[in-house]
Amino acid sequence: MAGALKEKQLVRHVYAALQAASCPLVEGLHLQEVDSMLQLLCSPSQHRTDILAWICSSIDPNFANSLAIAMKSKGPDVLTKEIALLGHELMLCKADDLDLIRGDASPCLQLQFLEQLLTLVPGCKKSAGHRKDQEMFLNELFTAENLPHFTQILKPALDPWPAHIKALHRGTKSHAASRGEAADVSHLLQLTQSTLEQLQSECEFPSNEEQTPAVFSPSSLRVAASDLQLLMATFSHVFETDLRSYCSRDEPSFSTDPDVFQRIHQLLLAFIMELEMLQEVSDASATMSEEVNQLQTQPCYWSRGEKHSLPDQLEELTKQMKDFFSLPPS
């Protein structure tokens, strides 16, 4: 009994989500019975396959290309395999779960699959929830026990609405208002949390952790004393052999003449200038080499209606001069 009730609620929710997503394949149907909705969404038919194809195209615009290829192909279940492949990429089903796509699986599995697909359609989830609240209110409003009250609308005297209908209507409004206030409070809390995290990242707070004192034991003290004795013996040997002669000397005297620093500064400036001049010469040489290379390789000179390079032009001029001087005198 509970499973059937859940199935009815699920099929109403999926059908309302399709209407909220403005699916053109359910517009104008105006289904009210649960059996009719189950027949549409959970029974194998071309209409159901078209609805699945429309949902996949709304999720992935590139699916339209696969849909066009599947329509041109004459192989069986090509469109079904494409839809199953997209569902596998979205981690909603297996790639070979073709019964779920055809409509041969259990209605509960099909409705859960359709519900998960519709949550990925842009703008569908929010509109479906809003429409679901409205439909729940209308279904409660137009129950059999409330129908006699509508017949009294044409009469001059109208009995007041039942108390539970008024409470439901007020509860819907207050629920909507409380949701708006909750959204504002949630936004304010998130903003406050982000501000505090930013302040914490910018400030370095002192650590209050108490440092545990080192625990000394006789064995560790004995090892430390042994190491100290070894270091002192090594330093004494090095001092006696290498350092004593330096320690007995007088302190070195530094020159107080400021001209030394001035001359060093001038030499460094001259060295820097020389380096800059060498860099300029190197850059000029590279530029000159590039220009010469362009003159030798690129055709820039016109001759007989065509462009020729400088070596070709010089070779042609040399040949003409040789021909001219080789002519016999007239």
Assign 130 a pLDDT band (cuts: 50, 70, 90): very low
**How confident is the model at residue 127, as a pLDDT?**
44
**How confident is the model at residue 128, as a pLDDT?**
46
Whether residue 177 has pLDDT greater than 80: no
**How confident is the model at residue 156, as a pLDDT?**
46
Which residue type does 221 have?
Answer: L
pTM over 0.95: no
The reply to whether 185 and 309 lie within a common domain is no
The vertex-11 CA angle with 6 and 15, nearest 5°, equals: 150
Q: What is the mean pLDDT of residues 286-293?
A: 86
The reply to whether 51 and 113 lie within a common domain is yes
Boundaries of domain holding 277: 266-297
Interatomic CA distance for residues 237 and 233, integer angstroms: 6
Which range scores top for mean pLDDT: 115-124, 178-187, 230-239, 311-320? 230-239
Residue pLDDT, tens place only, 33-62: 888 888 888 888 888 888 888 888 888 877
What are the E-state strand segments in the chain? 301-303, 306-308
Assign 280 a pLDDT band (cuts: 50, 70, 90): very high
The reply to whether 288 and 310 lie within a common domain is no
| DSSP string for 278-300 | HHHHHHHHHHHHHHHHHHHHS--
Stretch (H or E) spanning 97: none
Q: 162, 146 in Cβ contact below 8 A? A: yes
The reply to whether 284 and 306 lie within a common domain is no
As for how many domains the chain has, the answer is: 4
The reply to whether 185 and 133 lie within a common domain is no
Q: What is the mean pLDDT of residues 132-153?
A: 62
Whether residue 109 has pLDDT greater than 80: yes
In a domain, 9, yes or no: yes
Token pair of 259, please? Answer: 């001209």
The reply to whether 175 and 304 lie within a common domain is no
Whether residue 299 has pLDDT greater than 70: yes
What is the rounded average pLDDT for all residues in the chain?
76
Match 């504002």 to its residue by tokens: 184
Least confident of 78-82, 150-154, 188-192, 254-258: 150-154
In a domain, 211, yes or no: no
